């Protein structure tokens, strides 16, 4: 189970949450969790794309920051009109990062077979 966060919201937001709850046939807590999750993901995407556009990170790093596949991040960047910028150095950096992620997973997979 997740952590509990308590916050106050304006009355108009409360009414909108109640309305969504009624329309979706969900309890208010579920509605708030879903909306919050969507807002956090949107913020992460916006932040990662700004850093990518400014040349601070690679598109692969941006995808990792958000927790989405590279292909999806490339599509989002293209949809927002952010030009694809990918150098050989970027490719090598993303390849090294991918190797680090694969190695522990591969070794864990091998150890489970025995």
pLDDT band at 96 (very low <50, low <70, confident <90, very high): confident
Q: Give the DSSP per-residue string, 87-106.
A: -HHHHHHHHHHHHHHHHHHH
Which residues are CB-contacts of 102 (< 8 A; sequence separation ≥ 6)? none
pLDDT above 70 for 108:
no
Report CA torsion sign: 21, 25, 28, 33: negative
**Would the CA dihedral through 56, 45, 88, 54 be positive or negative?**
negative
Nearest CA to 41 among 10, 72, 2?
72
The yes-or-no verdict on residue 54 having pLDDT over 60 is yes
pLDDT of residue 84: 82
CB 58 within 8 A of CB 52: yes
CA torsion 43-46-52-55 (nearest 10°) is -100
Question: What is the pLDDT, as a whole number, of residue 65?
Answer: 95
Q: What are phi and psi of 13, to 5 degrees?
A: -70, -40
Report whether pLDDT(106) > 60: no
The predicted model gives 30-49 an average pLDDT of 97
Q: Given this model, what pLDDT does residue 104 score?
A: 60
Please give the structure tokens belonging to residue 108.
């864990």
Give the mean pLDDT of the chain.
88
Lowest mean pLDDT among 38-42, 62-66, 68-72, 98-102: 98-102
- Residue 2 — very low, low, confident or very high, per pLDDT cuts 50/70/90? confident
Tens digits of residue pLDDT in 72-87? 999 999 999 998 887 7
């Amino acid at each position: 189970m997740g952590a509990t966060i308590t916050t106050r919201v304006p009355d108009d937001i409360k009414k909108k949450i109640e309305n969504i709850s009624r329309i979706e046939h969900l309890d208010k807590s579920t509605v708030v969790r879903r909306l919050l999750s969507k807002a956090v993901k949107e913020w992460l995407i916006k932040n990662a794309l700004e850093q990518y556009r400014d040349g601070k990170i690679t598109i692969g790093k941006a995808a990792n920051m958000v927790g989405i596949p590279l292909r999806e991040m490339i599509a989002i960047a293209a949809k927002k009109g952010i030009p694809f910028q990918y150098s050989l150095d970027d490719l090598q950096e993303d390849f090294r990062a991918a190797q680090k992620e694969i190695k522990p997973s591969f070794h864990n997979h091998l150890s489970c077979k025995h």
